[in-house]
């Protein structure tokens, strides 16, 4: 049977969250670095497809390959650990504390960021022939994506910030649904199909994903985008991270935990 | 069809010139379950020539070994079972010696040599004491596998250094390795060894390929023709060996189907399902009623997630196997029925009560007197496993039940490692070791196999957690990946969290939680004893601790006072200075 009952996959979610807290620093960094890099590469790929075909839908349809790859390889994204790690604390797993969750989030953030920046640098080299000529069409496009989604929000002030935040919430609602959906199935094909749908939705809708943005914006800065690093941090990355956290935790983690997972005071295990 | 163990055995014995045959030999080739659990045994013994009763000694040694070895627990390793049996035989023979003329002159006592070969699964085990020999036949030579326990102190004078029946205790040599198909082993007493060479053995086996008894007879006659002593020889040829994954549990699992998903009020294999107790990604646990006896029973079925995992499914068979063999009030019992089963599930007794995890929630900061009886009962359960060569390997608060009468029971025996079942099998656990990381001894994370000491670590972790509500190393012990990580682990002293507890408690629990298994208490029983009656050393160690460790609050108070005085002195100094 390829589909798990909800009670089973919710315990799997908690187990997965617990294992994130128990992961050594080295493993956490390596896994998050690789996840950031692969997702960044997928973002570069999707933008290339969009520019070359002129149709953003095709880019969005193909973007989930990166997510599927990194999930199947067992790498961790910040958006995923936002949803999973706190479940171990909610379920009172031994030793699980908010401090351990915070540690995990910080390490995964660092790893994701380093991975995404690495790919941003590599892709910038490719788009500009080793910085020897102006960026090509795709490079040009990436350079300008960043502008609308930083100074563009800033132009609307508080309303812009609200929009940014809500887009970030919606994003991780979708992405974490993908992470959880992958746990429902026991087969690789089942996992891939389950992940594909929500990831495609978020990418086409232009929701704000903190790790995708860790690639797009530094890349944009390298390719001559007209915004500053502080614009990126304040008018994109930081609100996106917070929005992703809220979206993953409230709409996915906490909801599934509270409806599907029963904590009986008198649990008898044979 | 799975290959099973098949061997050919040949044996023969001839008395020497003096008439009585002081050699004795025997072999047991069981079938079915006993073959898988205990294997094939060949044993040979040679009584000393100077004694008139030594033929009785050799008969007893071989006879008792062949009989008693098969009566030992299936859970024991061959080494443990054989050494226990030989220890008992030796004690009996020694007793006979001391009751006869032998007490004045050991040369006339109940003394004999003893060598045995056990082939279980794919593993050969040798047990040896004295100067009989075990050989392995090669193309051009005979390899002597045992060492003669004979001391030569003059050119033609020598005596047996070790044998059964000489002293109250005997040291038995033990060797073990993986057997190969086609190998031939020989067991021979010294009378048969003299003229033995590879060529004649090859010839004899080639001539009597289907009748190794005749081959053995020919070799013995040959030996007797030149020598004068009793001559006895046993031949063992390995024809087929079981496949590598000879796990008993896998064999038992064959033919059982995976059960359907259970639901309340459903009938399943003669049980009526009552309600769900816990459904997780690891297993589904249901309360049911046995329709025959009307008694409650707990059924555990595989989760959907892990249905393709062979090792996991094996643990289902093993869990009941273990529970049926360990009869202890502190270990869960298997359901006593013996209906034929169609599906793979575990049926266990129903324990009404709460888990230790829940108990900890209900009793934050409990007094030592409340914690101690629970730990002690838990230790009794663990000891019951350890004495049967079993390791629990997944001791955690969720796996401990406390019933309404306050009896503590170990449940969830799915991770138990049984020495007698796994010996000789290559453990190919490429993934994480079984168990829960928070309670796992850190050496297990570095690839060391579990030991009773690892169970002790888990028990001490639980003790620490019951008293303080926290884990002794936080989550750091679960993150150990290299020996350097191990050295970096810092134990958070219990006295920092529960300063009112006696200081020695910290010493006792801290010792059991040492990162190096060799520095922990040697056994669970020692830990429990220390927890009741700590030796003086724990209290001495306490006094030697620096003040900052022993009483941090006092230390900082004193330091603050000193600093305050310094400040006052400085202020005074400055104000009086010109």
Q: Which residues of B touch A266 (CB under 8 A)?
A: 354, 358
Q: Give the β-pairing of B296-302 and B353-355.
A: unpaired
C-alpha pair distances (Å), B106 with each of A3, B96, B110, B114, B474? 74, 11, 8, 17, 61
Map residue B544 onto helix, strand or coil: helix
Domain boundaries, chain A: 6-261
Is there a contact between B196 and B152 (Cβ–Cβ < 8 Å)?
no
Q: Which residues of A touch B332 (CB under 8 A)?
A: 270
d(CA A269, CA B348): 10
Domain boundaries, chain B: 6-240, 248-349, 353-422+432-545
**Which CATH number, 1.10.10.10, 3.50.50.60, 1.10.3720.10, 1.20.1080.10, labels domain A6-261?**
1.20.1080.10
Q: What is the number of other CB atoms lying within 10 angstroms of the CB of residue B469?
A: 16
Six-digit token string for A77: 């994204």
d(CA B144, CA A107): 60
Q: Which residues of A touch B307 (CB under 8 A)?
A: 1, 186
pLDDT of residue B247: 56
Map residue B116 onto helix, strand or coil: strand
What distance in Å separates residue B553's CA from the closest CA in chain A? 25
Secondary structure (H, E, C), chain A: CCECCHHHHHHHHHHHHHHHHCCCHHHHHHHHHHHHHHHHHHHHHHHHHHHHHCCHHHHHHHCHHHHHHHHHCCCCCHHHHHHHHHHHHHCCCCCCCHHHHHHHHHHHHHHHHHHHHHHHHHHHHHHCCCCCCCCCHHHHHHHHHHHHCCHHHHHCCHHHHHHHHHHHHHHHHHHHHHHHHHHHECCHHHHHHHHHHHHHHHHHCCCCCHHHHHHHHHHHHHCCCCCCHHHHHHHHHHHHHHHHHHHHHHHHHHHHHHHHCCCCCCCCCC
pLDDT of residue B563: 96
* Interface mutation vs chain B, best among A94, A185, A188, A191, most B CBs within 10 Å: A94
Report the Cα–Cα distance between both ends of chain A, in Å, rounded: 24
d(CA B194, CA B232): 11
C-alpha pair distances (Å), A208 with each of A215, A239, A242, A252, B505? 12, 9, 11, 17, 54
Res. B122 pLDDT band, cuts 50 70 90: confident
Res. B465 pLDDT band, cuts 50 70 90: very high
The nearest alpha carbon in chain A to B400 belongs to A269
d(CA B373, CA B361): 18
Q: How many residues does chain B have?
A: 578
For chain B, the average pLDDT equals: 87
Mean pLDDT of B543-558: 79
Asked if the Cβ–Cβ distance from B438 to A95 is below 8 Å, we say: yes
pLDDT digits (tens, 9 = 90+) for B426-461: 555 545 677 888 999 998 888 888 889 999 999 999
pLDDT of residue B1: 46
What distance in Å separates residue A210's CA from the closest CA in chain B? 27
Out of A1, A8, A24, name the one closest to residue B479 (CB). A24
- Residue ranges of chain A with per-residue pLDDT less than 50: 1, 263-270
CATH code of the domain made up of B353-422+432-545 = 1.10.510.10
pLDDT above 70 for B202: yes
pLDDT digits (tens, 9 = 90+) for A127-173: 999 889 988 888 888 888 888 888 889 999 999 999 999 999 999 99
Asked if the Cβ–Cβ distance from B353 to A268 is below 8 Å, we say: yes
Asked if the Cβ–Cβ distance from B439 to A94 is below 8 Å, we say: yes
Q: Which residues of A touch B277 (CB under 8 A)?
A: 267-270
Q: Which residues of B touch A12 (CB under 8 A)?
A: 281, 305
Per-residue exposure over A250-269, b if at least 16 CB sit within 10 Å of its own CB, e if not: ebbbeebbeeebeeeeebbb
Q: Which residue has the tokens 């390997």?
A: B393
Q: What is the pTM of this model?
A: 0.77
Ranked by mean pLDDT, the top range of A6-20, A77-91, B43-57, B188-202 is: A77-91
pLDDT of residue B279: 85
The strand pairing partners of B273, in sequence order, are: B288
Is there a contact between B459 and B453 (Cβ–Cβ < 8 Å)?
no
pLDDT of residue A264: 45
Six-digit token string for B376: 């002690």
- How many alpha carbons fall within 13 Å on the CB side of residue B475? 21
pLDDT digits (tens, 9 = 90+) for B468-515: 999 999 899 888 888 898 888 999 989 889 988 888 898 899 999 999
* Burial of B104 per CB tally in 10 Å (0-12, 13-18, 19+): exposed
ipTM surpasses 0.90: no
Q: Which residues of A touch B (CB under 8 A)?
A: 1, 3-5, 7-9, 11-12, 15, 19, 21-27, 92-96, 100, 186, 264-270
- DSSP secondary structure code for residue B379 in this structure: H
pLDDT of residue A119: 96
pLDDT of residue B517: 92
Identify how many contiguous H helices and E strands chain B contains and give both numbers: 20, 22
Asked if the Cβ–Cβ distance from A5 to B261 is below 8 Å, we say: yes
Host H or E run for residue B202: helix B198-207
| CATH class of the domain whose range is B6-240 | alpha beta
Q: Alpha-carbon torsion A69, A72, A75, A81, what sign?
A: positive
pLDDT of residue B304: 85
Contacts with A141 (C-beta within 8 Å, 6 or more apart), sequence order: A47, A50, A51
pLDDT digits (tens, 9 = 90+) for B259-286: 888 889 999 999 999 999 988 888 999 9
pLDDT above 70 for B232: yes
Out of B278, B299, B352, name the one closest to residue A267 (CB). B278
Map residue B516 onto helix, strand or coil: coil
Q: Which residues of B touch A3 (CB under 8 A)?
A: 304
pLDDT digits (tens, 9 = 90+) for B282-311: 899 999 999 999 999 999 999 888 888 887
Asked if the Cβ–Cβ distance from B479 to A4 is below 8 Å, we say: no
| CATH class of the domain whose range is B248-349 | alpha beta
Q: How many residues does chain A have?
A: 270
- Which has the higher per-residue pLDDT, A229 or B248? A229
pLDDT above 70 for B332: yes
Q: Which residues of A touch B352 (CB under 8 A)?
A: 268
Out of A5, A264, A268, name the one closest to residue B304 (CB). A5
Contacts with A268 (C-beta within 8 Å, 6 or more apart), sequence order: B277, B278, B285, B287, B298, B350, B351, B352, B353, B355, B401
Six-digit token string for B222: 């040959």
d(CA B69, CA B84): 9
Is there a contact between B145 and B187 (Cβ–Cβ < 8 Å)?
no
Q: At what angle do helices A25-53 and A64-72 cross, to 10 degrees?
A: 160
d(CA B484, CA B470): 24
pLDDT above 50 for B560: yes
Q: Which residues of B touch A27 (CB under 8 A)?
A: 481
The nearest alpha carbon in chain A to B301 belongs to A270
């Amino acid at each position: 049977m390829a589909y798990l009952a909800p009670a089973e996959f919710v315990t799997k979610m908690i187990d997965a969250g617990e294992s994130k807290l128990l992961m050594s620093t080295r493993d956490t960094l390596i896994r998050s670095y690789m996840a950031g890099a692969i997702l960044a590469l997928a973002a570069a790929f999707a933008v290339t497809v969009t520019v070359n075909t002129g149709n953003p839908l095709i880019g969005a349809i193909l973007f989930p390959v990166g997510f599927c790859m990194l999930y199947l390889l067992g790498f961790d994204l910040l958006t995923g650990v936002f949803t999973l790690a706190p479940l171990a604390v909610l379920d009172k797993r031994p030793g699980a504390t908010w401090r351990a969750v915070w540690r995990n989030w910080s390490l995964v953030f660092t790893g994701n960021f380093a991975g995404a920046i690495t790919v941003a640098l590599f892709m910038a080299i490719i788009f500009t022939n080793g910085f020897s000529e102006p960026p090509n069409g795709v490079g040009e496009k990436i350079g300008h994506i960043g502008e609308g989604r930083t100074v563009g929000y800033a132009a609307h002030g508080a309303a812009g910030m609200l929009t940014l935040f809500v887009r970030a919430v919606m994003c991780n609602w979708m992405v974490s649904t993908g992470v959880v959906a992958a746990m429902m199935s026991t087969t690789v094909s089942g996992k891939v199909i389950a992940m594909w749908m929500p990831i495609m939705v978020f990418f086409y809708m232009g929701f704000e994903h903190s790790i995708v943005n860790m690639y797009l914006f530094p890349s944009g800065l390298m390719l001559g985008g007209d915004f500053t690093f502080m614009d990126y941090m304040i008018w994109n990355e930081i609100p996106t991270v917070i929005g992703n956290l809220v979206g993953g935790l409230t709409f996915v983690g906490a909801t599934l935990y509270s409806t599907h997972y029963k904590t009986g005071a008198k649990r008898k295990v044979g | 069809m799975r290959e099973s163990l098949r061997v050919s055995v040949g044996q023969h014995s001839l008395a020497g010139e003096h008439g009585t045959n002081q050699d004795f030999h025997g072999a047991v080739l069981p079938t079915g379950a006993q073959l898988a659990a205990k294997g094939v045994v060949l044993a040979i013994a040679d009584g000393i020539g100077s004694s008139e009763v030594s033929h009785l000694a050799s008969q007893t040694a071989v006879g008792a070994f062949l009989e008693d070895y098969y009566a030992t627990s299936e859970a024991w390793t061959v080494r443990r079972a054989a050494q226990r049996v030989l220890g008992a035989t030796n004690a009996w023979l020694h007793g006979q010696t001391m009751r006869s003329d032998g007490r004045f002159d050991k040369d006339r006592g109940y003394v004999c040599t003893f060598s045995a070969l056990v082939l279980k699964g794919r593993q050969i085990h040798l047990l040896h004491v004295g100067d009989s020999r075990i050989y392995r036949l090669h193309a051009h030579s005979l390899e002597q596998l045992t060492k003669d326990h004979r001391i030569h102190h003059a050119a033609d004078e020598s005596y047996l250094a070790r044998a059964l029946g000489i002293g109250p205790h005997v040291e038995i040599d033990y060797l073990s390795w993986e057997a190969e198909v086609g190998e031939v082993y020989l067991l021979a007493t010294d009378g048969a060894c003299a003229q033995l060479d590879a060529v004649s053995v090859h010839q004899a086996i080639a001539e009597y390929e289907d009748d190794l008894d005749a081959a053995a007879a020919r070799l013995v006659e040959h030996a007797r023709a030149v020598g004068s002593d009793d001559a006895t020889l046993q031949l063992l040829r390995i024809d087929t060996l079981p496949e590598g994954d000879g796990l008993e549990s896998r064999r038992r699992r064959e033919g059982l189907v995976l059960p359907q998903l259970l639901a309340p009020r459903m009938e399943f294999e003669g049980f009526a399902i009552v309600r769900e107790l816990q459904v997780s990604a690891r297993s589904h646990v249901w309360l049911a009623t046995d329709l025959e006896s009307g008694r409650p029973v707990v059924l555990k079925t595989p989760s959907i997630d892990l249905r393709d995992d062979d090792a996991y499914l094996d643990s289902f068979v093993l869990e009941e196997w273990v529970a049926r063999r360990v009869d202890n009030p502190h270990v869960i019992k298997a359901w006593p029925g013996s209906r034929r089963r169609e599906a793979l599930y575990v049926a266990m007794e129903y324990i009404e009560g709460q888990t230790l995890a829940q108990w900890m929630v209900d009793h934050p900061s409990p007094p030592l007197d409340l914690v101690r009886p629970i730990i002690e009962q838990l230790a009794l359960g663990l000891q019951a496993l350890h004495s049967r060569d079993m390791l629990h390997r997944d001791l955690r608060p969720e796996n401990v039940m406390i019933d309404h009468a306050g009896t503590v029971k170990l449940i969830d025996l799915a991770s138990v490692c049984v020495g007698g079942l796994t010996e000789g099998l290559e453990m190919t656990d490429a993934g994480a070791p079984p168990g829960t990381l928070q309670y796992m001894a850190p050496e297990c994370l570095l690839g060391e196999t579990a030991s009773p000491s690892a169970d002790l670590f888990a028990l001490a972790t639980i003790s620490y957690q019951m008293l303080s509500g926290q884990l002794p190393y936080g989550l750091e012990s679960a993150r150990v990946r290299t020996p350097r990580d191990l050295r970096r682990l810092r134990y958070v002293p219990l006295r920092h969290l529960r300063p009112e507890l006696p200081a020695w408690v910290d010493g006792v629990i801290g010792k059991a939680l040492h990162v190096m298994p060799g520095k922990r208490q040697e056994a669970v029983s020692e830990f429990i004893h220390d927890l009741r009656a700590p030796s003086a050393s724990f209290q001495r160690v306490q006094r030697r601790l620096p003040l900052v460790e022993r009483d941090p609050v006092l230390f900082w108070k004193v330091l603050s006072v000193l600093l305050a005085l310094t400040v006052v002195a400085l202020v005074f100094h400055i104000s009086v200075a010109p």
